[in-house]
Structure formats: structure tokens, C-alpha cells
Amino acid sequence: MSNIPLAGYLIVSTIMFFAGVYGFLSRRNMLTILMSLELMLNAADINFVAFNKFLYPGQMDGAFFAMFAIGVSAAETAIAIAIIINIYRNIKNIYVDEVNKMKY
């Protein structure tokens, strides 16, 4: 386990990140979009931890950052779901392309 190179972590996180980007851009359902967003965040967290391990082995800064990001994303998810519920109450669906009133 300890002989997995840095590139391995980065490849995984890159795949996760672009999977998130793809989902964010292509899905209609807001819950799916939220999940894609979480994917992107988690990809960034993996990068934090991996770089911490390989570049500054004796320290814990990167790990703390990852913990923070997880906490923040939990809070953000709660808010996002609250917004989605409100949108649902208003337009009876959660398709993102129907929420387009804010335009010219």
C-alpha cells in the first residue's frame, strides 16, 4: 500500500474531477448536479492528502485542509438541498434548465 506512487493518486483524483465536471454540465436533475459537485470536491481533497503525504511527510496541514473541506461541503450540501426543496415547492420539479428566470 505504501508503494503506490503519487501519480496513482493524481490519476484517480483527475478522473473523479472530470467525471464531476461532466455530470455538472450534462445533468438536468439538481440532485445529480449536487452529487457531481461533491465528486469534484472530493477529488480536491484526495489531492490535498496525497500532496501532504509526498511533499511534507512529517506534517498534517493537508489533512486538516481535507477535513475542513469535508465539513464545509457538508454544510453547503445542506443549504443546497434546502434551496432545491424550495425550488421544488415553486415549480414542482428540480430540473435545472427550468430555473432560468434570471435573464435579460
Partner 1 sequence: MMSYTLIIVALPFLMFLFLGLVGGKMKPVVAGLIGTIGLIISTVLSYIAAGSYFFSVGKIGETYQTIVPMNFEWLRFTDKLHIDLGIMLDPISVMMLVVITTVSLMVHIYSFGYMKGERGFQRYYALLSLFSFSMLGLVIAPNIFQMYIFWELVGVSSYSLIGFYYTKPSAVAASKKAFIVTRFADLFFLIGILVLSFYSGTFSFQDLTSPAGCAFAQSITDTFMGWSVVSWAMMLIFIGGAGKSAMLPFHIWLPDAMEGPTPVSALIHAATMVVAGVFLVARMFPVYIFGAPDVLTIITYIGATTALFAAVVACTQTDIKRVLAFSTISQIAYMITALGVSGYGAHEGLGYMASMFHLFTHAFFKALLFLGAGAVIHAVHSNEMDSMGGLRKYLPITHITFLIACLSISGIPPFSGFFSKDEILVAAFEKNQIVFWCLYFCAGLTAFYMFRLYYRIFWGDNNKVYQHTPHEAPASMTIPLIFLAALTCVVGFIPFSEFVSTDKTVFHTHIEWSTASLSILIAVIGIAIATWMYRKENTSSDKVTARIKGFYTAAYHKFYFDEIWLFVTKKIIFNGISQPVAWFDRHVVDGFMNLQSTMTNFLSRKIKFAQSGEIQDYAWAFMMGAVVIISLLVFI
Closest CB 30 distance from partner 1, rounded Å = 10
Contact yes or no for 70/5 (Cβ under 8 A): no
The SS3 assignment for 95 reads strand
Binning the chain into helix, strand and coil, the percentages to the nearest 5 are 80, 0, 20
87 touches partner 1 (CB under 8 A)? no
Closest CB 68 distance from partner 1, rounded Å = 23
Q: Which of 1, 5, 25, 90 binds partner 1 (CB under 8 A)?
A: 25
Q: Which of 1, 75, 79, 103 binds partner 1 (CB under 8 A)?
A: 103
